[in-house]
Amino acid sequence: MSKMLLNIQNLKVAYGGINAVKGIDFHVNKGELVSLIGANGAGKSSTLKAIAGLISPAAGEIEFNLHQTKALPAYELVKLGLGLVPEGRGVFKRMTILENLQMGAFLNTDAKAFEHKLEEVYFYFPRLKERLSQLAGTLSGGEQQMVSMGRAMMAEPKLLLLDEPSMGLSPIMVETIFEVIHNLAAKGMTILLVEQNARLALQMADRAYVMESGLITLSGSGKELLQDPRVRTAYLGE
C-alpha cells in the first residue's frame, strides 16, 4: 500500500498571461500535516484550487488517492475523499448552521453515521451546537470559519485542504481554530495547510514547503524550517 496520498508533479497554473504556479513538485503522505507557506501572491491558493478541481492546471500531474485527478470536476474529488475549507470561508449565508453541516454530508446516506459525525463537530465547535438554527450569514468571521471547517469534516475527508484558515480572525479565534487543526492531525487526519501565519503553520507541520513567486524554494520538517535563517528573516520577522 502506498503511503503517499497526494503527489504533485510539475504543476503549472496560469491566469491569462500570468503564470501563478511555475512547475512545482510536492507530496503529502497519509497521516501527515503538511504546510505550504509563502507571501501573498506566491501561488499557494492557486495550488490548492488546482488540487481541489476548482481551476484547471496548465500542465503537470495531480495524483490523489491513487487516481489521476487533474481532469476530474470538484464534485468527483469529494467522492474520492477530498475536503476543502476555502479561503474566505464560503459558507451558505442564507442557510442555517445545521443546513450548512448537512451540505457537507450530502454523500452520507447513513443516518446513524451522520448523527455520530455531527456530534464530533459539536465536540470541536460547541458554539455551533448552541445556535444550530441561526443563519450562517449572521455569524462572526470566526464562527463562519468553524462552520466551514465543520462542513468539511462532515464529509469525512481522506485529505483536508485548508486555505488560509486564520485570515481575518481575532488572535483568540486563530488559537481556537489552530487547536482544532492540531487535534484533527493528532487523530490521524491528513491535512494540507496553506497559511500566511508562517510561525503557526510551521509549528504544527510534520513537513513544510516554502513557495515564492510560483516556485517551491525550500522544504523540510516544520522544525527545520523554523530554524532556517532564510525563513526566519523572510517570514518570522527576525
pLDDT score of 1 more than 80: no
Taking only the tens place, the pLDDT of each residue in 198-220 is 999 999 999 999 999 999 999 99
pLDDT score of 186 more than 70: yes
Q: Answer yes or no: is 97 within a domain.
A: yes
pLDDT score of 36 more than 80: yes
Q: Answer yes or no: is 74 within a domain.
A: no
Q: Answer yes or no: is 193 within a domain.
A: yes
Distance, in Å, from the CA atom of 178 to the CA atom of 80, rounded to the nearest integer, reads 26
Question: Residue 17: which pLDDT band, with cuts at 50, 70 and 90?
Answer: confident
Q: Answer yes or no: is 228 within a domain.
A: yes
- Across the range 86-107, mean pLDDT stands at 93
For residues 231 and 1, the model is more confident at 231
What pLDDT score was predicted for residue 107?
85
What torsion, rounded to 10 degrees, do the Cα atoms 200, 202, 208, 214 define? Answer: 50
Q: Answer yes or no: is 72 within a domain.
A: no
Q: Answer yes or no: is 121 within a domain.
A: yes
- Is residue 162 within 8 A of residue 196, CB to CB? The reply is no
Percent of the chain at pLDDT above 70?
Answer: 99
Distance, in Å, from the CA atom of 228 to the CA atom of 202, rounded to the nearest integer, reads 11
What does pTM read for this prediction? 0.94
Q: Give the structural domain span for 211.
A: 30-52+81-235
Specify the CATH number for the domain of residue 200: 3.40.50.300
**Buried b or exposed e, range 90-120, using 16+ CB within 10 angstroms:** ebeeebbbbebbbebbeeeeeeeeeeebbeb
Question: Residue 2: which pLDDT band, with cuts at 50, 70 and 90?
Answer: low
Q: Answer yes or no: is 67 within a domain.
A: no
Number of domains in the chain: 1
